[in-house]
Amino acid sequence: MAGSDVHGFVNLVKPPGMTSHDAVIACRRVLGRLRAGHTGTLDPGASGVLVIACGQATRLVRYLQGSRKTYRAEMVLGVRTTTQDAQGEVLGEVDASAVRPESLARVLASRVGAGWQVPPMVSALKRDGVPLYRLARSGREVPRAPRPVVVHRLDLLDFRVVGPRVLALVDLECSAGTYVRTLCADVGEELGVGAHLGFLVRTASGPFRLEESVSFEELTRAKTPRRWLVSPRDALAEFPEVMVAGLARRRVLNGNPVALPGGPARTVRIIDPEGRLLAMGEVVGDGGDWRLEPRAVLTEVEQG
8 and 116 in one domain?
Answer: no
Q: Domains in the chain: how many in total? A: 3
Rounded to an integer, what distance in angstroms lies between the CA atom of residue 153 and that of residue 260? 39
Q: What's the confidence (pLDDT) of residue 69?
A: 96
The CATH number of whichever domain residue 278 belongs to comes to 2.30.130.10
183 and 225 in one domain?
Answer: no
Q: What's the confidence (pLDDT) of residue 33?
A: 65
Q: What is the helix (H) or strand (E) element at residue 248, kind and residue range?
A: helix 246-253
The answer to whether the CB of 35 falls within 8 A of the CB of 54 is yes
Is residue 303 a part of any domain in this protein? no
Q: Percentage of the chain with pLDDT > 90?
A: 66
137 and 149 in one domain?
Answer: yes
Rounded to an integer, what distance in angstroms lies between the CA atom of residue 196 and that of residue 176? 20
Q: What's the confidence (pLDDT) of residue 74?
A: 98
Is residue 302 a part of any domain in this protein? no
92 and 42 in one domain?
Answer: no
Q: Residue 284 above 50 pLDDT?
A: yes
167 and 94 in one domain?
Answer: yes
Closest CA to 195 of 19, 41, 73: 73
Ramachandran class of 139: left when φ > 0, alpha when ψ lies in -120 to 50, beta otherwise: left
174 and 85 in one domain?
Answer: yes
126 and 9 in one domain?
Answer: no
178 and 144 in one domain?
Answer: yes
Q: What's the confidence (pLDDT) of residue 185?
A: 96
Residue numbers annotated as active site: 43
* 122-154 confidence digits (pLDDT tens): 766 777 777 776 776 777 777 888 999 999 999
* 95-109 confidence digits (pLDDT tens): 999 999 999 999 999
141 and 30 in one domain?
Answer: no
Domain containing residue 253: 239-297
Rounded to an integer, what distance in angstroms lies between the CA atom of residue 25 and that of residue 226? 16
165 and 109 in one domain?
Answer: yes
**Average of per-residue pLDDT across 162-171:** 98
Rounded to 5 degrees, what are φ and ψ at 269?
A: -90, 135
With 0.85 as the threshold, say if the pTM is over it.
Answer: yes
Is residue 14 a part of any domain in this protein? yes
